[in-house]
Structure 1
Amino acid sequence: MALTGVIPYELGDLTFLVSLDLGSNKFHGNLPQEMAHLHRLMFLDLIFNSFSGEAPSWVGFLHQLQVLNLGNNGFTSSIPSSFSNISKLETSNLKFNSIEDQIPKVIGSLIHLKVLNLRGNKLVGFIPISLSNVSRLETMEISYNSLQGNIPEGIGNLHDMKVLSIQVNQLTGSISFTIFNISRIEVIALAINSLS
């Protein structure tokens, strides 16, 4: 039986908490701002719930966070630029929400990031060139959005990349030959775009 209800603001009082997993339940509503007080938190998993409201900007105060899993909820608005403050972040999963606007350029400052999953949102604009700076990136999953423009040539510099999935967007231009520099690549998914 799944847990239900909203997350109480008192959760923010548990300032020694390092791991919080509430995934695969039936929680709903907005996440309380008081969760910004969880300064020791390293692992936050809220996947498969019914949370709503704007993607929480207070996550930027969780400087120890390594895993952020907010996928399969109802978060809206844009990806907060404050995410760039989570300098130790290794996994960022926001898949299957209703997040709009562009992928912020500041994501390129997350030098420890290995997994970026933004699949199935409402993202528009270009793939930021700054992603080429995330040298440890292994999975870039940004398919099923409305991204436009070219695939940045700098992606070919991401030599640890294993999964590059940008299918079902509105990308144009040619496929950069720099992709063939990624010797460890296992999955390339570019289908249903307007590439030539």
Structure 2
Amino acid sequence: MFDSLSDKLGGIFDKLKRRGALKEADVRDAMREVRIALLEADVALPVVKDFIAGVTERAVGQEVMKSVSPGQMVVKIVNDHLTEMLGSDTNGISLLAVAPVPILMVGLQGSGKTTSAAKIAKRLKEKENKKVMMASLDIYRPAAMEQLKILGEQIGVPTLPIIDGQLPVDIAKRAMTAARLQGMDVILLDTAGRLHIDQALM
């Protein structure tokens, strides 16, 4: 997220290069772009407002270090505030449950659930030495099940065989049974994407 934010703000930061200190108007211009980027990323409006206020307060009047331009200083302040807001501590996935532990992937359409499922499966397999299986419950998106199968083959993680015409609940039950019978530690269940207007999926 921060990399794309840096790219979007490049033009704003270029304007700030020759200033000795950051003035509120300079920061306000940069924060307008940050606000747009965060809202486009579906960050809640109250969170965006608090974030912008916090960064603006920190950035206004900051003395620019000799080796750093004002634009770079704003980037650093934004980065520091994002790290503080999101948390600097990293926690692993808790697998404290009876195996196979189900991990349900849910989110908006196009938010990267299927790819993230494969990344999580790969990490659990390679870094935590877990036996992992993936199953697609997405019966709505064309080729969703096939996509997960291909990703599974690429990372060496088995996927639940596809049976046409099954409902998501039935697929989930079959996945849990298959994972249990095969001695899996974790089963990743990739669901269909949702939009707020899809009452049936919500």
TM-score higher than 0.5: no
Structure richer in strand, relative to its length: 1
Q: If the TM-score is normalised by the length of the shorter chain, which range does it land in? A: under 0.3
Structure richer in helix, relative to its length: 2
Q: Which has the larger radius of gyration?
A: 2
